[in-house]
Amino acid sequence: MRYSYYPGCTLKTKAKVYEDTTLQTARALGLEISEVPEWQCCGALYPLNTEEFFPLLSPVRSLAQAKAETNEKLVTLCAGCYNVFKRTNRTMRQDGEVRRKINDYLEEDYMGEVDVVHYLEVLKNDIGFDVLAEKVKKKLEGRKIAPYYGCLLLKPRDEMDFDDVENPTIFEDFLQAIGATVVEYPYKTECCGSYLSMANEKVAATAVGRILTSAFKNGAEALIVACPLCKYNLEALQKESKEAAGHPELPVYYFTELLAEALDVRE
């Protein structure tokens, strides 16, 4: 199976391990992944207003670039990029006025055609978790892992259409496929504070503390995430959080790190 791939800024720097372990596991699973040439930042956030079209120029440029190269599915990893691309695509399909303005400005003819998927969806839908389970070489037996979804993969519900917004299960199914023990806890979709960690750290630290303490009390040894900002918040603010001070630090991994371990391809 062949895919084009959009890394995004964070995957080339702070989240290099997310990219490395994805490419290692993709090779082991027989997926051919090629990076979109000359991609640029997606803008990190989808604009939540009706007036600003400029923030859409950057994601549309990268999507149009992906379309020009191939008609393969476009794989994303960062939950932020995935969220921005899916929402931008929907706008470009449904809103004729925005589509015309953006395309006129960019001198493109992009209609929202590129099929944007997350690597988790590739594992679930294209490979299948049952097939994945058969390819596992080192089951993560006895490892108690709490899935942490965050917000950007799931919301808004209609636009992302990724999983059940209140009780998603794709991470649980993934963890079972690689032989880990799933830790259930009530904070798996509760926001980690997102960009509040940049300007209102105490607020984000409290949100992070609640998530980690809940995971710990339910038996977690570690958490998995799909978003670099969630990972940063859960790790960096863990030390700042009064709520999380009462228990040992919990490591936070990208789900691909555990996948690389299970497939025994971690370099």
Partner 1 sequence: MKVTTDKINSNLISEVEEISGQKVSACFQCAKCTGGCPVVWAMDIYPHQVLRYAQLGLADELLNSKTLWICAACQTCDSRCPRGVDIPKVIEALRLILLRAKGGNYLHPNDLPAKVLENAPQQGLVSAFRKYAK
Give CA–CA dist 183/175, Å, rounded.
Answer: 10
When the beta carbons of 114 and 205 are compared against partner 1, the nearer one is 205
- CB 62 to partner 1: min, Å: 14
Check: CB of residue 7 under 8 Å from CB of residue 35. Answer: yes
**Amino acid letter, 98:** V
Q: Footprint of partner 1 on this chain (CB under 8 A)?
A: 8-10, 13-15, 41, 43-45, 48-51, 55, 78, 80, 151, 155-157, 165-166, 189-191, 193-201, 203-204, 206-207, 227-229, 231-233, 236
SS3 call for 145? strand
| Complex with partner 1: residue 25 or 233, whichever CB lies closer | 233
**Beta carbons within 10 angstroms of residue 54's beta carbon:** 11
CB of 43 to partner 1, least distance (A): 7
CA-closest candidate to residue 191, choices 164, 211, 217, 163 = 211
Question: Residue 82 Cβ, how far from partner 1 at the closest point, in Å?
Answer: 11
**Is 26 or 237 the residue whose CB approaches partner 1 more closely?**
237
Cβ-based nearer residue to partner 1, 146 or 175: 146
Contact 155, 190 (CB under 8 A): no
- 97: Cβ–Cβ under 8 A, 6 or more apart, which residues? none
Closest distance of CB 116 from partner 1, Å: 17
**Cα(150)–Cα(162) distance, rounded to whole angstroms?**
13
- Identity of the residue, 30 or 50, whose beta carbon is nearer to partner 1 in the bound complex: 50
Q: How far is the CB of 49 from partner 1 (least distance, A)?
A: 5
